C-alpha cells in the first residue's frame, strides 16, 4: 500500500486532536495526528505497541505517570497495555506507528489517497 500526501481527510477525535491513517500493512498501521495547543489526550492504554515521532511542536507525554517533554525531532516507544496520556504545549504534528494494526483506526483511512 502507498499513500500520497493530502491535507484532507483528518477527523477530530477529541477537542483539538485530529487523526488521519496514512497507511497500514499486515502488522503495522501508521497515523498522523494534528494536535492543537492546550489540547489533552486523556489517560488510556491499548494492547498495541506505539512508536511515535514529533514532526513539529512540543508535547508533554506521561507514561505510567512519568512526564517527559518532547520537541520536534524527538521520538518515543510505548509498550502495549501501558497507561499514557499527553498534554499539547504548542501546535504539533506527530506520526505514530502501531503494532499490531489498530482496527479502530482503519476508518480514518482516506481511500482516494491510496495506491
Is 67 a domain residue?
yes
- Structural domains counted in the chain: 1
**Cα distances (Å, whole numbers) of residue 63 to 7, 24, 89:** 30, 25, 17
pLDDT score, position 52 = 98
The range of the structural domain enclosing residue 21 comes to 11-105
Q: Which CATH number characterizes residue 85's domain?
A: 2.60.120.10
Within a domain: residue 4?
A: no
Instruction: Provide the whole-model pTM.
Output: 0.92
Backbone angles phi, psi at 106, to 5 degrees: -65, -30
Neighbouring-strand partners of residue 63: 66, 84
Assess if residue 110 is contained within a domain: no
Instruction: Flag whether 79 is in a domain.
Output: yes
Asked if residue 76 is part of any domain, the answer here is yes
pLDDT at 113 over 80: no
Contacts of 72 (CB under 8 A, 6+ apart): 54, 55, 56, 57, 58
Residue 111 falls inside a structural domain: no
Which residue would you say has higher pLDDT here, 65 or 6?
A: 65
User: Cis omega before residue 100 (within 30°)?
Assistant: yes
Q: Tens digits of per-residue pLDDT, 33-86?
A: 999 999 999 999 999 999 999 999 999 999 999 999 999 999 999 999 999 999
Is there a domain that residue 114 lies in? no
Amino acid at each position: 500500500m502507498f499513500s500520497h500526501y493530502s491535507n484532507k481527510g483528518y477527523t477530530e477525535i477529541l477537542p483539538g486532536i485530529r487523526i488521519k491513517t496514512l497507511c497500514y500493512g499486515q502488522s503495522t498501521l501508521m497515523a498522523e495526528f494534528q494536535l492543537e495547543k492546550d489540547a489533552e489526550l486523556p489517560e488510556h492504554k491499548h494492547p498495541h505497541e506505539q512508536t511515535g515521532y514529533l514532526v513539529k511542536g512540543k508535547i508533554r507525554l506521561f507514561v505510567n505517570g512519568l512526564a517527559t517533554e518532547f520537541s520536534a525531532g524527538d521520538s518515543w516507544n510505548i509498550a502495549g497495555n501501558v497507561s499514557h496520556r499527553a498534554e499539547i504545549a504548542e501546535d504539533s504534528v506527530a506520526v505514530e506507528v502501531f503494532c499490531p494494526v489498530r482496527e479502530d483506526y482503519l476508518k480514518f483511512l482516506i481511500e482516494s489517497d491510496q495506491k
